[in-house]
Structure 1
Amino acid sequence: MLSQQTRDIVKSTAPVLAEHGTAITSVFYRNLFNAHPELLNVFNHANQAQGRQQAALANAVYAAAVHIDNLENILPAVVQIAHKHVSLGIKPEQYPIVGEFLLKAIKEVLGDAATDDILKAWEEAYGVIADAFIGVEDSMYKEAREQENGWNFFKPFTVARKVQESDNITSFYLKPADGSNVPHYKPGQYISVRVLIPGEKYTMIRQYSLSQAPKADEFRISVKREADNDPNGVVSIYLHKQVDEGATIEVSAPAGEFLLDATKDTPVAFISGGVGITPMMSMFETVAATTPDRPTVFLHSARNEALAAFRDAVEKHAAAMSNVKTKTFYSGGPDGVITGEVLKAYVDITGDAYVCGPVPFMEAMIRELRALGMKEEQIHYEFFGPALQLDNN
């Protein structure tokens, strides 16, 4: 347990972290990678270049400072980040390295203002928080390892099939290279894919939602090809252009907390934008197969018809259901975007809504659903990339 003095010091530094957090985390990452370049095999270089990872870490450190008296308040965030860590293969021995460089960065940015007492308090606090992550992740690794067909870290998979779903989304059907089956996963979960792209020094890891209901012998991911000049697009372009049927890539066990509650038969709405449709396909197919009488709405927004993936699959699943409404909106066409009026017409606010897509899309959808009277616990959402704050007030 942390002493009262330590907690008081950490809380008192929260405003300083709010002011200097991104500067501290930028120095932290620069120094960390200079000393431990092997960690570049784990971190997303594009998020680094764009400052997203630095901002996400600054938010996390600030949240820890504010809630140091009641760290259970940040447990949901810890669990969400721990899922990411497990899918990336983060190990307990990496935490002390991170702690050392975080403290050095605080000292470097704050200078004399970072007294020995402040640094000591943060060292203690970091130790407690790191132990929480290590404990949560250890149980996740254990569960992943001990489930049927489970494993830890990365395992070779073969690309069994490659299917174009739209002008910019292609599905990859992945089977274990050793001929085994895959573990059961929950609709909405994701896997990590690790590749070493020719000409690149470090491996790159990206997370992709599993885009079909659980099958015994395969995973399916559906990857949006980003623009050639987009730093986020390095892996997606490689997968689209160079990874063909028969190729081998490395895959982590399924992870993630954006989950369909498949035990319910109350109304459910799936609302997606762009490639955010991928986890919805797994959920929608599961509802069609297991609770086909469940009142269901499937709303999707794409820029135009050429970019709208899975239209045939949505129709096929809907045909197996007795109480379903589906509609695709084209933001560049006469239907326009999904508005509050549309949600009011389609969504039963007594049920649950699942939202996934670009951050501005999700902010708008969540805001409109709340305005209709849906409560926080009825609205489930997932966004891609580091855990940035959603501005949905």
Structure 2
Amino acid sequence: MLSEQSAATVRATLPAVGAAIGEITERFYADLFTAHPELLRDVFNRGNQAAGTQRQALAGSFAAFAAHTVEHPHDRPDAMLGRIAHKHASLGIAPEQYAIVHKHLFGAIAAVLGEAVTPEVAAAWTEVYWLMANALIAIEKRLYEESGGGARREWQVVERVPETPDVVTFRLRPLDGAPVRDFRAGQYVSVRAELPDGARQTRQYSLSGAPGSNLRQISVKREPGSPTTPEGEVSNHLHARVHEGSVLELSEPYGDLVLDSGEETPLLLASAGIGVTPMVAMLAHLAATGHRAPVTVVHADRSPAAHALRADHETYTAKLPDASLHLWYEREAPEGAGTGLADLTDVPVAPGTRAYLCGPLPFMRAVRAQLIEKGVAPADVHYEVFGPDLWLARA
């Protein structure tokens, strides 16, 4: 909780900081990587840095935390903090790194805002930063403890399965043969790959297989890049260079987009593109545990041929006693599927439904709006963003 004096200062200066936060974060990352090039090489996603999406995510989360702190001083935005902490834990972020971030972030704030950063303003915003940082450190400490310390392990690829021209599934087992901790359907692991230039880049991939096995399964979409975004360094490396017998470093499972265990609640699982991966794991878990409440499955894709894990999607849905599958394809839609973007207008949604979304941000925003119109409580709509969480940055 902010002190009264700091809360008043933050409230008064929030518009100015918010207006300059993009410039501040750009300067912050430039200064940080100049002082610590190893962080860009081995910790931060170089593709997201090049595209600017990581800057947007940091700006959005820090500004949102500050606004929430002054508007709701007696509670914490735990959903946002939890999502960030899971990503940090999967990367192995350590408490001492928060002091490094503080040094360069506040150096950037002072450089951009100049004389407006009085000692009083600096103290107030430092208080905001450490409230957020210490909350994340505490959550990450708990996550590391729950995962047995959070150490990475080596896993060997035992099977490589082409799903579509752009998606490959890798099935892996622990190289040391030791038992593994189970995961919850919807979680992800971080995969660390050594690239040709020596960088050890890390990416998160949802576990697309069912829990309860000593194997891990990830389904990786090759990101080709575009005029505004670079091609995916790690995804292209995995597609080109990783085969049966290859060894990868994997983190323990993390992620908060998980089903509530043991509760017979109506569910809606909505995905688009490669966002199908956590949803297939959830469906596999529901089928294995005999979930009997209604399950509505929604998926949108470019075409049936681009629909990764389509057979699993259909098979697991068919195993549930009260489930329906609703598909949309932008082209080549077969009979029974919709053409174009997902539209839930005619999709029945049971009262009390809890919804889980994964896919591109415009898709999730549209689905969330339609679900709320249908009476689903906003608190019952949960989502996962692949890459930097830009939901807050574009809110």
Q: Same fold (TM over 0.5)?
A: yes
Q: What secondary structure does 1:33 align onto?
A: helix
Note the 1:137-286 alignment, pairs <5 A: 137-145=140-148, 151-198=149-196, 200-227=197-224, 230-286=229-285
1:319-330 correspondence to structure 2 within 5 Å? 319-330=318-329
Match of 1:276, as an amino acid?
G
Q: In 2, are the aligned partners of 1:349 and 1:372 still within 8 Å (CA)?
A: no
Instruction: Name the counterpart of 1:16.
Output: 16
User: 1:51 and 1:384 mapped to 2: Cα distance?
Assistant: 15
Letter in 1 for 2:322: N
SS in 1 for 2:202: strand
Deviations 1:46-89 (A, max 9, x none): 11111111111111221232233427332221111011100010
Q: What residue in structure 2 maps to residue 50 of structure 1?
A: 51
Alignment partner for residue 122 of structure 1, among 100, 122, 125? Answer: 125
Q: What value does the CA root-mean-square deviation take over the aligned residues? A: 2.0
Label 1:309 to 1:64 Cα distance change in 2 as closer, same or farther (>3 A): closer
* Distance (whole Å) between structure 1 residues aligned to residue 78 and residue 292 of structure 2: 35
Matches of 1:235 and 1:343, distance apart in 2: 38
Offset at residue 6 of structure 1 (A)? 2.2
1:87 aligns to 2:90 (yes or no): yes
Q: Paired residue for 1:364? A: 366
Structure 1 residues 119-166: Cα deviation after superposition (integer angstroms, max 9, x where no partner): 232223323322221111111111111xxxxx5132211111111112
* Alpha-carbon distance change, 71 to 174 in structure 1, aligned in 2, over 3 angstroms: farther
* 1:281-309 deviations in Å (ceiling 9; x for gaps): 01001111112433222222111121112
On the 8 A contact 1:363/1:391 being kept in 2, the answer is no
Deviations 1:161-219 (A, max 9, x none): 11111221111112111111221111111111111111x24211111111111133111
State the SS of the aligned residue for 1:220.
Answer: strand
**1:97 deviation in Å?**
0.7
- 1:37-116 equivalences under 5 Å are 37-40=37-40, 41-69=42-70, 70=73, 72-116=75-119
Any residues of structure 2 matched to 1:130-141 within 5 Å, and which? 130-141=133-144
Gaps of 5+ in 2: none
Question: Structure 2-normalised TM-score?
Answer: 0.92
Distance 1:239 1:328, change over 3 A: same
Equivalent residue letter for 2:203: R
Deviation at 1:351, TM superposition (A): 1.8
Normalising by structure 1, we get a TM-score of: 0.92
1:87 and 1:153 in contact (8 A); partners too: no
Q: Which runs of 4+ in 1 moved over 4 A?
A: 390-393
* 1:388 lines up with 2:364 in the alignment: no
Q: Give CA-to-partner distance per residue, 1:4-33, whole Å, 9 cap, x none.
A: 222222222210111100100110000011
Matches within 5 A, 1:311-390: 311-334=310-333, 335-340=338-343, 342-389=344-391
Greater shift after overlay, 81-90 or 325-334?
Answer: 325-334
Contact residue 265 and residue 291 of structure 1 kept, 8 A: no
Matched residue SS, 2:147: helix
Matched to 1:173, the amino acid is R
State the distance in 2 between where 1:319 and 1:158 align.
Answer: 32
The 1-side partners of 2:392 and 2:135 are apart by 24
Q: 1:125 to 1:231 in 2, by over 3 A?
A: same
Contact 1:175 1:218 (8 Å CA) reproduced: yes
- The 2-side partners of 1:134 and 1:188 are apart by 23
Q: Quote the Cα distance in structure 2 between the aligned partners of 1:231 and 1:129.
A: 31
* Match of residue 300 from structure 2: 301
Count of aligned positions: 386
| Shift in CA distance, 297/392, structure 1 to aligned 2, threshold 3 Å | farther
Residue 152 of structure 1 aligns with an amino acid whose one-letter code is G
CA distance in 2, matches of 1:304, 1:113: 53
Separation in 1, partners of 2:285, 2:237: 30
Q: Distance in 2 between matches of 1:122 and 1:355?
A: 34
Amino acid at match of 2:110: K
User: What CA distance in whole angstroms lies between the structure 1 residues aligned with 2:3 and 2:310?
Assistant: 58
Farther off after superposition, 113-122 or 255-264: 113-122
Q: Give, in whole Å, the separation in 2 of the partners of 1:202 and 1:381.
A: 31
